[in-house]
Structure 1
Amino acid sequence: MSESNEIIDVPVWEQRFRAPRVSLPEWAEDAPGRSLFVSNATGTYELYAWDRASGGQRQVTDRPNGTTDGTLSPDGRWIWWFSDKDGDEFGVWMRQPFDGGADEPAVPGLAPSYPAGLAIGRDGTVVVGRSTDEEGSTVHLVRDGAAPVEIYRHRESAGVGDLSHDSTLIAIEHTEHGDAMHSALRVLRAQDSSVVAELDDTKGGTEELGLAVLGFAPVDGDTRLLVGHQRRGRWEPLLWDVATGEETDLRLDLPGDVSAEWYADGTGLLIVHSFEARSELWRYDIATGALVRVETPAGSVSDATARPDGSVEYLWSSAAMPPVVRSTGGGVVLDPPGDKAPGSVPVEDVWVEGPGGRIHALVQRPQSGEGPFPTVFEVHGGPAWHDSDAFASGPAAWLDHGYAVVRVNYRGSTGYGREWTDALKHRVGLIELEDVAAVREWAVASGLADPAKLVLSGGSWGGYLTLLGLGTQPDAWSVGLAAVPVADYVTAYEDEMEALKALDRTLFGGSPEEVPDRFEASSPLTYVDKVTAPVYISAGVNDPRCPIRQIDNYVERLAARGAVHEVYRYDAGHGSLVVEERIKQVRLELDFAARHLGTRPVGG
């Protein structure tokens, strides 16, 4: 059989996963012709170098479980990449010459850790953020090839924000106040690690507000730092001169969350505006305050960058159209070889009144047939994330098999204001599921969803909500599919990486020892004996975020009472970067649902 016929014989839903994809190319600040991107061209997501002048591309990393965390030095001479073990996220930074060559330890002398930010200067200065269960958060400075020097340490989570253009100033995000959801900022002198300035919006008020480092001005001697803030109930940018303390509030007249990055000459900002599950781009002129739309198609811009010539490159997709890297200069920037991913169906916007306000849901219907449909409620992870009008191969596979798909931006999701994002504190999981339940009621009442064929599904935090929902709403769901979930919250807290322990203390208001009742109320294990729906669980045995022991505890309880369940364990961390592994997992989920609901068998 010819190669072309083999491709045609592959089911459409699998073609979407196998189709080559690329990330938005990063470019070296002082050598913009040198770029780095991520692609699944070999069947595993790895880093690739791209010389734009010659058009030459080469694969940089080649590891069984893939590699996605990498960056370029400003001069473009080096590619840095993070080397962990089988997806456990614990490792060291390596580097490789852009033109190819042997890998070498990028920062000799630093022991393995979880990464917490990296900044590389033009003069060879390097700032490395780390975290370990034993040390908490540390930041290390490396200059002139000398041994790394620790310049920051704290038990709470912290990380590197940025290094100034002239390598004299270091911006750090930290949560020394104990709220891992809302960072404060500190700027240090690289010369002696002394404090230059502090910015902390968690002090002096009744509400805790977060800050984020968006980047120093790209000009030597310019001490302005672009900062994200939440002072008006949503994410917005401001300019903070760390030398004088002056703050310039930009007050952009745009609804929803607003982020920004510098144009290469420092005269303007590239604005990324996210509102109601879609995004768009603008250019803000700092001198005049003019805001000009950067034209992009309707849908979602998942990443964007302003090139030195003033053009903007961006990674765009919609629910119906696969991702593509485009440029405002015209055309596609980086087109991977091979067959393109088939499209899917567009989303419909639904607004449902819920106990905490209007809930936004994205709905997709199969291309053929009349409702009510078997329906998958695909619950997003995070929880500080949101579903958007963007292409996703997983939901598209369910649509191909005759299911409707509903995605709910529950309280806890980003993109709808700080109050919505922060609402889940102290009733973790239960609040989100109230919103999912409200949308479920709408889906059944509207005739979209067959109440006898409802699937609750999700990964990570979505997997957690799936297991919690099966136990707290046992009559609502016909099947549950939980990928890399939190299943036993107390044991998960004991085993998870330190940064997530800090987040959990923020969400619950303390540790399991301090607020045991809250952890019990929000743990799927508490309700495992009430689960009546068949349960499918997949888990990475090296996962540092949702560790395997706590999943085993939950599964043992299911097995002890003879509950219908299946478990699939795979050799990776919090998800897989191997295309065939991901296809296998989706196939297993489709098959499990089909067997227990009597729906269409897995196929084309």
Structure 2
Amino acid sequence: MTENTGSAAQDMSMPSMPDWEKRFRAPRVSLPDWAEDAPDRALFVSNATGTYELYAWDRATGVQRQATDRPNGTTEGVLTPDGESIWWFSDTDGDEFGVWMRQPFAGGEDQPAAPGLQASYPAGLALGRDGTAVVGRSTDEDGSTVHVVRPGAGPVEIYRHRESAGVADLSHDGTLIAIEHTEHGDAMHSALRVLRLDGTAVADLDDTEGGTVELGLEVLGFAPVDGDTRLLVRHQRRGRWEPMVWDVASGQETELGIELPGDVSAEWYPDGSALLVSHSFEARSELWRYDFATRQLVEVPAPAGSVLGATARPDGSVEYLWSSAAEPPVVRSTSGRVVLDPPGMKAPASVPVEDAWVEGPGGRIHALVQRPATGEGPFPTVFEIHGGPTWHDSDAFAAGPAAWVDHGYAVVRVNYRGSTGYGREWTDALKHRVGLIELEDIAAVREWAVSSGLADPAKLVLAGGSWGGYLTLLGLGTQPEAWAVGLAAVPVADYVTAYHDEMEALKAMDRTLLGGTPEEVPERYEASSPLTYVDAVRAPVYISAGVNDPRCPIRQVENYVERLEARGAAYEVYRYDAGHGSLVVEERIKQVRLEIDFAARHLG
């Protein structure tokens, strides 16, 4: 078990603290969420105490209050529409299994928010104006369930299915519930259903029916007007994510005709007259306003880089969380001011990111490169592989890669097949040859990095967390001559055991990716499991794992470590008392320090 070794304030006063540690310790905040009917009441996440926790913010008075205080942190919380209460999810040491708690906005005792509901994995939450709550749950025993909880009454189950599903939104007048479900068995492509509060169906939208190519749908939100039955959704019908409006009462679907390359998302302006459009393309993002009356797009000014969240305020301004690889995150407003500036030390800047485009076996691969500020290549190089796999690296501030750059390494991040932001075909390319496809793309970028003079071929580090940790272990076994060191955080190490021990929603994802269970398609699990290739690993391996991790459980990591131990391989393993990563700043710094030290010792 790892303990917090000191307060953030004490650490920040140390004059000899290196820049890479300052980037982790500098206070930062999330984009504040605000109560729909009380926009001066907001909720945000901050690491100001050294642990990521929820904070209540009265914008009218400027008063901020820490709402949660737990050893392993808290990040999941929602305000009620009237701003009177905070709902926050209480699990045990990061295991993601727990119950919703409720706390007055101004402070006070925490109470169970939905008495009668047993602990579960969360699967969505929607709060109504009359106090009604719609709670999504997931357990290994029950599958996915949805419950309506009314004030003074016990929970009523209105939906149940073995496949994954979750609550997406509640209409403004509290009469309609939108859920995303995968009853068809494809966990990568959801269908939509709208229910009344008694569980009767109103409408279905399913793009997986009747076609050879399955397409996904996502709920973006009901129109913010009483009696308005328009639901904003995202679809993939043209090979990318883009929004449309679906009237769930009439069935009418209205395409918006937003012609922007890459993926497009949106949310309503508070009066329902326009949409705030978020556009992601080639690892950068930008904002636009779409006006329903004119059907025109007008760009919302934002610096070049990445917008990690945005919201339109009742006065028409837009607030957004922005950063770039070189510049730390800040919550800005189109009014020209910084919305929420945490006190204390500011995170030092890092180096900008460069784009690299490399021809690969499945098409052109986009990689992001950061070089040390001084010196010339070839450099020792860290291939920092993102998790997900349905995620992508972007031109956004990240303390981990910046730490490697400070220590003289180049950092390469690869948006391999399976990554989002490059079209549906790129994201959906992983079927059946899971892990091996991504590593083909990483290998192509590795060859480019060496041939271009960027990377020293004798000092290549393969690293990543979660799915990136899985690809690290798989790459060390399938490409043993390519890598000098491997650093795997919270990885899948033994795919079969991981499947049997992980949460039900991830089992559904594995069945989709690999075409069945380990018993149905054992050869695919064997081909995609790092444990299959452990005896071929030649590079020293560092593994870190949370003992409470429900996503990449500890038992399957121990199976892999035992095999390394049996053959006398060079390895180190670090176990810590948390789940799928840590919300404690000192713990994060400790892990990065251990990884940097391990690489330095073995690279020479």
| TM-score of the pair, normalised by structure 2 | 0.98
Which residue in 2 is equivalent to 1:176?
A: 183
Counterpart amino acid of 1:531?
Answer: V
| 2:171 is aligned with 1:164 | yes
Q: SS at the partner of 1:9? A: coil
Q: Quick one: which amino acid aligns to residue 537 of structure 2? A: V
Which sections of structure 2, spanning at least 5 residues, go unmatched?
1-8
Which residue of structure 1 lines up, in the alignment, with residue 141 of structure 2?
134
Out of 573, 581, 588, the residue aligned to residue 582 of structure 1 is 588
Question: SS in structure 1 opposite 2:408?
Answer: coil
Q: In 2 relative to 1, CA 5–412 (structure 1 residues): closer, same or farther, beyond 3 Å?
A: closer
Which residue is 1:299 aligned to?
A: 305
* Contact in 1 for aligned 2:12/2:345 (Cα 8 Å): no
The separation in 2 between residues aligned to 1:380 and 1:12, in whole angstroms, is 23
1:226-277 per-position Cα deviation (integer Å, ceiling 9, x unaligned): 0010000100000000000000011201000000000000000000000000
* CA deviation after TM superposition for structure 1 residue 462, in Å: 0.0
Q: What residue is the counterpart of 1:601 in the other structure? A: none
- Within the candidate set 56, 61, 64, 1:49 is matched to 56
Partner of 1:512: 518
d(CA) in 2 for partners of 1:162 and 1:110? 20
Partner in structure 2 of residue 317 of structure 1: 323
Q: How do 1:178-193 residues align onto structure 2 when only pairs under 5 Å count? A: 178-190=185-197, 192-193=198-199
2:41 pairs with 34, 43, 54, which one? 34
- Could you tell me how far apart the structure 1 residues matched to 2:434 and 2:398 are? 27
What displacement does 1:8 show? 2.6
Distance 1:132 1:521 in 2: 29
Match of 1:247 in 2: 253
Partner of 1:476: 482
Aligned equivalents of 1:286, 1:588: Cα separation in 2: 53
Return the match for 1:268 from 274, 282, 299: 274
| Secondary structure at the counterpart of residue 7 of structure 1 | coil
Counterpart residue number, 2:5: none
Aligned to 2:432, which of 422, 426, 446? Answer: 426
SS in 2 for 1:8: coil
Q: Check if 1:216 corresponds to 2:222.
A: yes
In structure 2, how many angstroms separate the alpha carbons of the residues matched to 1:397 and 1:188?
Answer: 48
Superimposed CA distance per residue, residues 114-152 of structure 1 (whole angstroms, 9 cap, x where no aligned partner): 000000000111100000000000000012331000000
Q: Of 589, 592, 595, which aligns to 2:598? A: 592
3-state SS of 1:538 partner: strand
Contact 2:325-2:397 within 8 A present in 1 as well: yes
1:91 deviates by 0.0
Measured in 1, the distance between the counterparts of 2:57 and 2:508 equals: 39
Match of 1:107 in 2: 114
Instruction: Give how far 1:5 is off.
Output: 8.8
1:257-406 superposed matches below 5 A: 257-406=263-412
Residue 208 of structure 1 aligns to a residue in which SS?
coil
> Match of 1:577, as an amino acid?
L
Q: Does 1:569 align with 2:575?
A: yes
Aligned to 2:505: 499
Instruction: Measure how far apart 1:189 and its partner are.
Output: 1.0
The residue type equivalent to 2:136 in the other structure is G
CA distance in 2, matches of 1:537, 1:474: 17
| Native 8 Å contact 2:101 2:112 kept in 1 | yes
Inter-partner Cα distance in structure 2 for 1:12 and 1:428: 38
Q: Distance in 1 between matches of 2:479 and 2:469?
A: 15
SS in 1 for 2:29: coil
The secondary structure found in structure 2 opposite 1:238 is strand
Which residue of structure 2 aligns with residue 76 of structure 1? 83
| 1:23 and 2:23 aligned | no
Q: Tell me if 1:521 matches 2:527.
A: yes
Runs of at least 5 residues in structure 1 that lack an aligned partner in the other structure: 599-604
Partner of 1:486: 492
Give 1:50's aligned amino acid.
W
- 8 Å CA contact retained: 2:55, 2:66: yes
Letter in 2 for 1:257: D
Show CA shifts across 1:287-337 (max 9, x none): 210100000000000000000111000000000000000000111000001
Q: Residue 12 of structure 1: which of 19, 23, 28 is its match? A: 19
CA deviation string 1:193-230 (max 9, x = no partner): 21100000000111000000000000000000000100
The C-alpha deviation readout for 1:500-551, integer Å capped at 9, x for no partner, is 0000000000000000000000000000000000000000000000000000
Deviations 1:416-447 (A, max 9, x none): 00000000110000000000000000000000
Distance change >3 Å, CA 3–CA 432, structure 1 → 2: closer
Q: Find the aligned partners of 1:103 and 1:356 in 2 and give their Cα distance.
A: 52
Work out the CA distance in 2 between the residues paired with 1:421 and 1:550: 27
Q: Which residue number in structure 1 is paired with residue 6 of structure 2?
A: none
The answer on whether the counterparts of 2:499 and 2:507 sit within 8 Å (CA) in structure 1 is yes
Distance (Å, rounded) in 1 between the aligned partners of 2:151 and 2:413:
50
Matched AA of 1:162: D
Quote the Cα distance in structure 2 between the aligned partners of 1:365 and 1:330. Answer: 32
Aligned to 2:128: 121
Contact 2:12 2:22 in 1 (8 A): no
Displacement over 3 Å in runs of 4+:
2-7
SS of residue matched to 1:215: strand
State the alpha-carbon separation in 2 of the partners of residues 532 and 9 from structure 1: 37
Q: Would you say 1:555 and 2:571 are equivalent positions?
A: no
Shift of the alpha carbon at 1:6? 3.5
RMSD: 0.9
Deviation at 1:9, TM superposition (A): 1.2
* Counterpart selection for 1:87 from 69, 94, 109: 94
Matches within 5 A, 1:199-214: 199-214=205-220
| Residues in 2 aligned to 1:227 and 1:197: alpha-carbon distance in whole angstroms | 14
